[in-house]
Structure 1
Amino acid sequence: MSTLVSAEDFDYSELTRTYMGVFYSQKFDEFLNTSQTGFAHTSAGIELSLLLKSLYTSLCFCTFQLTLFSFFRSIFKVLYQPRSYCVPINERMEPLPKGFFSWIAPTLKYSINYYLSMGLDTYFFVRYVSILLLFFVFIGSLNMIILIPINITGSSDDYSASGLDKLSLSNISTSNVNRLNSHFVMGLITIGFFHWLLLYEFQSFVKIRQSYLLSDNHKESVLSRTLLISNVPPYLQDVDVLNKVLDVVPGGIRNIWFLYDFREIREEVQEAKEALYYLEYVNIKYLKRRLYSMLPVRLLWFWPFKPYVFKTGDMNEEGSKKSDIDKISFYPPIYLKSIKIPKIERYIRIRLPGFFRILLLEKPVPVVDWCLRTLAAKHRSIDNKKMLLAADQIKKHNKVFVEFNTQVGAYIAHQCLLSQIQGSLDSTIIEIHPEDILWDNIARNNTMACLLEKYFVSLMFIAIILLYVVPVSFIGLVSQIPLLTKLIPSLSWIYKLPEEARETISSLLPSILLATLTDIVLVVFRFLTYFKGNFTGSELEIDIQKWYFSFLFVQQFLVVTISSSITVIFKQIFDQPTSIPILLATNLPKAATFFFQFIALKAFSFCGNNFLRISSLVLYHTYYKLNDKTPRQKFNRVTNLLKIRWGSIYPVYSVFASIGLAYCIISPLIAIFVIFILSLSLLYYKYALRYIYSHINESDTKGRLYPVALLHLYTGVYCLECCLIGIFFLSKNDNGVCPMKIQGCIMCVVLLATIFGNITIYARFVKHFSYLPILSDKQYRNPEVVDRLKRRSKVEPEESNSSDNTKNDLYSNQNLLFLHPSFKYEYPKVWLPEDPFHISEYLINEIENQVAELTGGSTRGAIIDANNHRLKISITEAPPDYK
């Protein structure tokens, strides 16, 4: 028999008789005790042939997707290599060769140092995957070489595991229990190597982050010197007063931006932009109609090579045709007045489509007339708001952006308590990108209602993590075709399909639905995280990283691994923490084979789906062609490259690595599958980050996601240690004696040492996550340097405070960098495509004559092509008002 005691030998029902029984309900327990719990045990003991058969469909589909990607890559360059064509010339990447697989070798050879140009989050993610790959290649290979032969030969005449479990610790019988000493030694080596690598990476993180932040380019940037200060009392909301208060900070102040009430001007700008869209759209619609009627059929094939030039005598005729566009009518959109939710200080504004005016029995209005009147009115209103801003007559919120003259001064202010009064100037954020600010959150006051809202969202996160098993259990019905057809008789046609097709449906469909459900949860998490009141997108990414990792680890590892209900799991954690090793030791070994399949399927689906991007490919040929009605729309879609959100990417690989760590001793074969998915992921991200994703990331956290991701790996180490403790104390020989008690006790000490190490490492490095050293104390260890500094201090005169000369005109000289984007709105320029009859130029002149603010319209950069008897808009340059 096996050295391990099965889970059935333990009755966890006694846990319900403790104080936690106050919160326990039998109906609630039955509600959560779904078939998904412990689902991984169904894969225990399967043969290699069955594993390969289950992966065959995914492998074929992934190969097909990669083949299509290699073929389409050189055809749809805007989709698969946008950074080589859709960005300014000085930012473009050199296109890859056109060969079928010629993109692989150049992609792999890129050094990770290149990705520093895309921000610290990007660089450290590539480093994270690379380090994990190195770890599992080294320690995984070592464990496989040593432990797999021991496991295979660990059976006896009385007991032998089945299938792939022969390669794991589960194959060791009671007569060979002493072989667990090898697992004990390799466990110590694995844990020791993990901590060495972790310390090395933390030290490297500190050096790289500090070098990046202290570089000349970054040190001189406005972002490194600007501080957001919250809870500014009314008496300090004055430039002169605030400047005097902060004058104690070394270096002085350069700029101050108050947070003005932007709600009204934002609404005006939104309506003005929509009016501009309708104006350009209706003119282009009219232009196409005129071209269809004026272009000869033969010219459709040759224009613009032989353009027809407007004759002088045709101007009057065209002038009469100009009246046709004035007759085009529509129902304008309805903008309802903003509704304020007083306690939490949020506004809700509803925009209704124009067809609702039919219910009000209103008549349609001419499009051009409505657009011109709206633009003129909104521009006057926006100008008035700007004049009030210049006169400092707009309401201020209790936040302020302060730009210091030096980076050192900004960080000193960031690390100091700026006021003696509690609750005043007590919250600061540094390194904020102006385009990363969540304006609706930053405009709220820190009230008790806002604090309660934040904690309520956290409770919702916990509820989602715990109750996620409920919808998953319904998805599990899809894999049971007999039960599914009994519930939905109309699906009985499935039995007419071949058996292989039914097996494919029952295996693939649940995976697709689960992936979709997980994506929905991520969307919900992002939506709820916004309501936690984060001021910037970078703060939101840090928050989402922690919650999303918790969700993935609980649902993709614990729930499918442990054979008890979810309520029993948490009752056991709270009531009897010392029995956790027993729970893990009796459940983890049985789920090893499931994670082989799970990680391999994830690797195939990730590789195929992300490289091919089938949804983007379909949208590119369908929706986008119908939706791009103006050159401006098409330009914005093509040039606004995808931006990666690292807060939801890091946790995925932290979970994979944690699973690998938890099983690297129990079932060393897991290393092959972890290495496989890490290799494919590294290949994809090296390609995508260089050629697909935007190189600008406004929500860059300056690397703060990386140490959190490293600390998340401790969950895998704790699972490994607790499981080994349970195995060592439960393993018995033929005489019923437990010979591994000493090893179990030592592993308990290792667990305590790991906890101590975790706390110590965090306490040692946590300040380096957000702060910056202002002293280069290492050089002061050299006596020669100290003497040189002493001599210099005697001869150098004292520097005068240059900031005094600019105190009086701080406000008048400040730029608009940290003001709401609506205050930076400028008059737009109408952009119409060039046509062979110069109709667009005539339309632009007519518009400029009616609205004085619309000047400088242009047809440059856009042209109407006649392709296969269809008029198609092509973009060659940016809009005339593009900045």
Structure 2
Amino acid sequence: MLTIETDHFDYNELTKVYLGGLHLSRLDQFLNTSQTGFAHSSSGTEVTTLLKGLFTAVSICMLQLLFFCLLRPTIKNIYQPRCYYVPVRERMEPLPDGLFAWVMPTIKYNTSYYLSMGLDTYFFIRFVSVLLLFFMVVGNLNLLVLVPVNWTGSSLQYSATGMDKLSVSNIAASKVHRLNFHFVMCLFTVAMFQWLIVYELNSFVKIRHSYLSSITHQASIIARTLLISNIPDDLKDSDKLIDLFSVVPGGVNTIWLSYDSTHMSFLTAQAMNAMDYLEKAQVLYLKEYYAKKDSKYTPWLQKILLKNRKHSDQMPKDHCKYEPSLIPQFYPPIYQGPFHMPVIDRTIWFSLPGILRIFSFQSRVSMIEWALTTLNYLEKEIEQEKTRLAESKLPIHNKFFIEFNDQIGASIASQCLLSYQGTLDLCLTEVHPKDVLWGNIASRNSYLLLIENYVVTLFLIIITVLYIIPVSFIGLLSQMPLITQLLPFFKWLENIPDKARDTISHLLPSILLSLLTEIMMKVFRTLSALKGMQTGASTEANLQHWYFAFLFVQQFIVITILASISVIVKQVVDKPTSIPILLALNLPKAATFFFQYLTVKALTFCGNNFLRIHQLVFHLTIYKFLDSTPRRKFARLTHLTRVKWGTTYPVYSVYSSIGLVYTIISPLISVFIIFVLCLVLVYYKYSLKFIYSHVNESETNGKLYPVALLHLYTGIYCLECCMIGILFLLKNERGECPLIVQGYLMCITFLSTVFFHYTLYKKYSRYFSYLPIIADKPENLSKKQGPDFSENSNGDSYYSDKKLLYLHNSFTYEYPPLWLPLDPLGISEMQIDYAESKVNTLRGGQTKGAIIKLDNYFQTIQIKVSEAPPGYK
């Protein structure tokens, strides 16, 4: 039984000091009511209560999976888009349409298959698979050894209750010697973990080297291109830079200076918006036109449409007359900017809803005429900006892209100190042309960027610390008497049946904590984008560290140890050496909470994501209105979801760290962790092949994997500290501490783990970013290794001119040909001709690949798309 005598602190007075003028009596009561994490409310939970809490989540998940199995063969654009809505060479072979025909093939997919989707994807599948194997072997071994020891560890004087009988909490004072089993198994677990990390880091180095050294990757432009920052003003010339870097073996192929694209992006954004309004207005005209036709024509029009207008010449000519009165009217959007903000060294622009023009008593205008006039004006402005680019008259930023003739030259340059004058001092490798964050590229004031970085970092820390407040509110839901006392409008909870109230108190906190975490993930991603990172890949790598820290602190430390701000600060600052005792007192009591929390989290995740409930609801409702043009519908169908690995790896690093913490303290956790990882693995194996896009511009080439592995040490440290506290804390019946020697050995183990962790990082960290040049010739991996940028492939098809490859995409913008749906009377073709006569660059418009479907019952039309729009790349 864990007991400890502690000093009596005046926490209420301490809270007043911390909160100062913001101190409120109710807030004080709230913050200090519970000096333990709300996960302790699950301590002593019976098996039946735990199963009742999980029953609802399991039932909902099973129902969602059943609907997924039923809908998968029919709604293919949601559940199998990679089989139909991608280029032919990238399509997957669809699985059979049977109810459960997808299950076994998904389970059997080999991990190595996912190499074709990039190293980030491959290593994530490997990450989950390795953790699953670890817990199946080491976790189950702990389960078999320690559960019988814990179960029989009680005495007549002391016995834990409920699920705690299976944990270290059931060890009575008279049987303290049984902790020797836990000590030995802890040493074994730590040793096996260390071996696993070494093995995986070695595998990572070999696989990454083989991948990056493959013939296909070496031939790609991104393998030979660097992004270098802080170029001095006297070197902002391509010829000078080529001459400067001629010392690098292999020489330089191409240099792209980063020109100011603010005005150009402002113009092209308006042009794209005007094109969208033009096509939208023309489709609306079609709908209005056919809505006014007599309903007796509808069946005939539908018949002609299905015959591809073979008999359209039989229609009366008056039906083809252009009627300007049907053209929709609207308030044009209001564009503001660009504005330069010296304080943050950024240039911004924005648009306001056109409806605001009503306050200045402006009248609505023809949507078609406004769009055509705007396009005519922007055509000249865009051409002038392109001319300024060709003549090198645009301002040049202090960053540039340089392509070397071979990969070795790029690797050597990236590892050299290029200047001793504080210039050319920041270098990024493997930069995808579509992954560049041009807003940060434009920032040149290094001091302002540094301050901005520190400010954002401070915000991230504050959020992580203050997040304890909403977590504490959620914790109140598990304490019904307390919440009804503090929040009287929840009095009605006292009138519901006991079973329903118990289900709410056990299940609702887990669900709300999950929802709150999802919200905070978006907040962290937004803040990380403001830290001045120059590529999306850099942002993902930075975000991985912060998001893991946030999740581990808030999803484990806070809800497990202390929910009172004053206690946290007082205990850790005044007595740092008491941390092991703090963990020993609190972690065992929270074990049952994590059984439920992790399971509910996995069931909710898999159920929602397999069914894709948001996409399904939108498909049946709002998309019918949003798909107002063929181009919009095509863009939606072909825009596949992309995984953000920077916030995906940390989630499962935290889950696994929690599993590592409890694998000795409460070994039953292994059963739940294995269940969670199995669900996650099956989901990602299916979705990465059939749902998610295989194109990942923010590919880090596997850099996230070793970081995720090293994050797992957090769980090992917590386990070792907790065991230290337990071994020093527990006393036998005579009041002695018989396990002091084991406690000192565990301290030595902790220090050895820290040293081993540091040594591993020092040894392997260079391989996270750099490519070994002198090494054994790597095996040639699968030729299909994700996005290929070699000159002999479609990789450079983003731009017809290689000289524009690493320039802002606004410089390559051209008006796309109009694309309207085919209609039986030829109205859309008439509209295309009219628009092309007004704007010179609107050429090549067509109706091929899109038709309108006349609805006989509702007298409406729908758009059906069968091909890509004209000029699509």
**Superposition TM-score, scaled by structure 2 size:** 0.92
- With over 3 angstroms needed to count, the CA separation of the structure-2 counterparts of 1:225 and 1:34, relative to structure 1, is farther
Partner residue in 2 for 1:299 = 300
Pairwise CA distance, 1:155: 1.5
Q: Distance in 2 between matches of 1:467 and 1:882?
A: 48
Alignment of 1:11-22 (within 5 A): 11=7, 13=9
Partner residue in 1 for 2:250 = 251
Q: Distance in 1 between matches of 2:815 and 2:777?
A: 54
Q: Check whether the contact 1:125–1:706 (CA below 8 A) recurs between aligned residues.
A: yes
Q: Deviations over 1:759-809 (max 9, x none)?
A: 000000000000011112699xxxxxxxxxxxxxxxxxxxxxxxxxxxxxx
Q: Check whether the contact 2:38–2:476 (CA below 8 A) recurs between aligned residues.
A: no
Partner residue in 1 for 2:648 = 649
Q: Distance in 1 between matches of 2:258 and 2:692?
A: 32
Partner residue in 2 for 1:799 = none
Q: Check whether the contact 1:38–1:560 (CA below 8 A) recurs between aligned residues.
A: yes
Pairwise CA distance, 1:442: 1.2
Partner residue in 2 for 1:141 = 140
Pairwise CA distance, 1:436: 0.9
Partner residue in 2 for 1:374 = 374
- With over 3 angstroms needed to count, the CA separation of the structure-2 counterparts of 1:501 and 1:24, relative to structure 1, is closer
Q: Distance in 2 between matches of 1:505 and 1:192?
A: 41
Alignment of 1:691-706 (within 5 A): 691-706=690-705
Q: 1:5 aligns with which of 3, 6, 31?
A: 3
Q: 1:820 aligns with which of 789, 808, 816?
A: 808
Partner residue in 1 for 2:350 = 350
- With over 3 angstroms needed to count, the CA separation of the structure-2 counterparts of 1:69 and 1:860, relative to structure 1, is same
Alignment of 1:762-841 (within 5 A): 762-776=761-775, 814-841=802-829
- With over 3 angstroms needed to count, the CA separation of the structure-2 counterparts of 1:815 and 1:840, relative to structure 1, is same
Q: Distance in 1 between matches of 2:306 and 2:766?
A: 65
Partner residue in 2 for 1:388 = 388
Q: Deviations over 1:681-715 (max 9, x none)?
A: 00100011011100111111111111111111001
CA RMSD of aligned residues (A): 2.6
Pairwise CA distance, 1:266: 0.5
Q: Check whether the contact 1:36–1:476 (CA below 8 A) recurs between aligned residues.
A: no
Pairwise CA distance, 1:305: 3.1
Partner residue in 2 for 1:787 = none
- With over 3 angstroms needed to count, the CA separation of the structure-2 counterparts of 1:322 and 1:126, relative to structure 1, is same
Alignment of 1:394-405 (within 5 A): 394-405=394-405
Partner residue in 2 for 1:411 = 411
Alignment of 1:459-498 (within 5 A): 459-478=458-477, 498=497
Q: Distance in 2 between matches of 1:173 and 1:509?
A: 33
- For residue 823 of structure 1, what is the amino acid of its counterpart? F
Partner residue in 1 for 2:861 = 871
Partner residue in 2 for 1:808 = none
Q: Check whether the contact 2:34–2:563 (CA below 8 A) recurs between aligned residues.
A: no
Q: Distance in 2 between matches of 1:99 and 1:289?
A: 43
1:420 aligns with 2:388: no
Q: 2:832 aligns with which of 844, 849, 859?
A: 844
- For residue 287 of structure 1, what is the amino acid of its counterpart? L
- For residue 149 of structure 1, what is the amino acid of its counterpart? P
Alignment of 1:625-644 (within 5 A): 625-644=624-643
- With over 3 angstroms needed to count, the CA separation of the structure-2 counterparts of 1:677 and 1:420, relative to structure 1, is same
- For residue 135 of structure 2, what is the amino acid of its counterpart? F
- With over 3 angstroms needed to count, the CA separation of the structure-2 counterparts of 1:359 and 1:17, relative to structure 1, is closer
Q: Check whether the contact 1:309–1:837 (CA below 8 A) recurs between aligned residues.
A: no
Q: Distance in 2 between matches of 1:833 and 1:27?
A: 62
Q: Check whether the contact 2:724–2:743 (CA below 8 A) recurs between aligned residues.
A: yes
Alignment of 1:11-410 (within 5 A): 11=7, 13=9, 30=28, 32-33=31-32, 35=34, 37-294=36-293, 296-299=297-300, 302-306=303-307, 317=318, 320-325=321-326, 328-410=328-410
Partner residue in 2 for 1:748 = 747
Aligned residues: 844
Q: Check whether the contact 2:438–2:808 (CA below 8 A) recurs between aligned residues.
A: yes
Pairwise CA distance, 1:302: 3.9
- With over 3 angstroms needed to count, the CA separation of the structure-2 counterparts of 1:534 and 1:40, relative to structure 1, is same
- For residue 305 of structure 2, what is the amino acid of its counterpart? P
Q: Deviations over 1:470-515 (max 9, x none)?
A: 1223334455566666777776666675554444445444443332
Q: Deviations over 1:19-76 (max 9, x none)?
A: x999897987947546495111111111111111111111111111111111111121
Pairwise CA distance, 1:12: 7.1
Moved more, 314-323 or 632-641: 314-323
Q: Distance in 2 between matches of 1:22 and 1:244?
A: 64
- For residue 387 of structure 2, what is the amino acid of its counterpart? M
Pairwise CA distance, 1:11: 2.8
- For residue 408 of structure 2, what is the amino acid of its counterpart? V
Q: Distance in 2 between matches of 1:619 and 1:562?
A: 41
Q: Distance in 2 between matches of 1:313 and 1:80?
A: 43
Pairwise CA distance, 1:368: 1.7
- For residue 811 of structure 2, what is the amino acid of its counterpart? F
Q: Check whether the contact 2:279–2:820 (CA below 8 A) recurs between aligned residues.
A: yes
- For residue 875 of structure 1, what is the amino acid of its counterpart? V
Residue aligned with 1:243, SS: helix
Q: Distance in 1 between matches of 2:771 and 2:383?
A: 42
Pairwise CA distance, 1:606: 1.5
Q: Deviations over 1:837-870 (max 9, x none)?
A: 2221121112111211100001111111224544
Q: Check whether the contact 1:272–1:374 (CA below 8 A) recurs between aligned residues.
A: yes
**Superposition TM-score, scaled by structure 1 size:** 0.91
Q: Check whether the contact 1:12–1:568 (CA below 8 A) recurs between aligned residues.
A: no
Residue aligned with 1:512, SS: helix
Q: Distance in 1 between matches of 2:620 and 2:432?
A: 35
Pairwise CA distance, 1:577: 2.7
- With over 3 angstroms needed to count, the CA separation of the structure-2 counterparts of 1:448 and 1:840, relative to structure 1, is same
- For residue 853 of structure 1, what is the amino acid of its counterpart? T
- For residue 828 of structure 2, what is the amino acid of its counterpart? S
Pairwise CA distance, 1:344: 1.5
- For residue 590 of structure 1, what is the amino acid of its counterpart? K
Q: Distance in 1 between matches of 2:832 and 2:585?
A: 76
Unpaired runs of 5+ in structure 1? 780-811
Pairwise CA distance, 1:88: 1.1
Residue aligned with 1:701, SS: coil
Q: Distance in 1 between matches of 2:718 and 2:12?
A: 24
Residue aligned with 1:336, SS: strand
Q: Distance in 2 between matches of 1:300 and 1:50?
A: 64
Residue aligned with 1:304, SS: helix
Q: Distance in 1 between matches of 2:235 and 2:11?
A: 57
Q: Distance in 1 between matches of 2:364 and 2:223?
A: 52
Q: Distance in 2 between matches of 1:319 and 1:156?
A: 94
Q: Distance in 2 between matches of 1:544 and 1:767?
A: 20
- With over 3 angstroms needed to count, the CA separation of the structure-2 counterparts of 1:777 and 1:209, relative to structure 1, is closer
Residue aligned with 2:100, SS: coil
Partner residue in 2 for 1:796 = none
Pairwise CA distance, 1:370: 1.3
Pairwise CA distance, 1:78: 0.5
Q: Distance in 2 between matches of 1:282 and 1:853?
A: 19
Q: Check whether the contact 1:15–1:575 (CA below 8 A) recurs between aligned residues.
A: no
Q: Check whether the contact 1:258–1:396 (CA below 8 A) recurs between aligned residues.
A: yes
Alignment of 1:554-569 (within 5 A): 554-563=553-562, 565-569=564-568
Q: Check whether the contact 1:835–1:864 (CA below 8 A) recurs between aligned residues.
A: yes
Q: Check whether the contact 2:266–2:349 (CA below 8 A) recurs between aligned residues.
A: no
- For residue 872 of structure 2, what is the amino acid of its counterpart? Y
Q: Distance in 1 between matches of 2:498 and 2:578?
A: 44
Unpaired runs of 5+ in structure 2? 779-799
- With over 3 angstroms needed to count, the CA separation of the structure-2 counterparts of 1:268 and 1:709, relative to structure 1, is same
Partner residue in 1 for 2:684 = 685
Residue aligned with 2:804, SS: coil
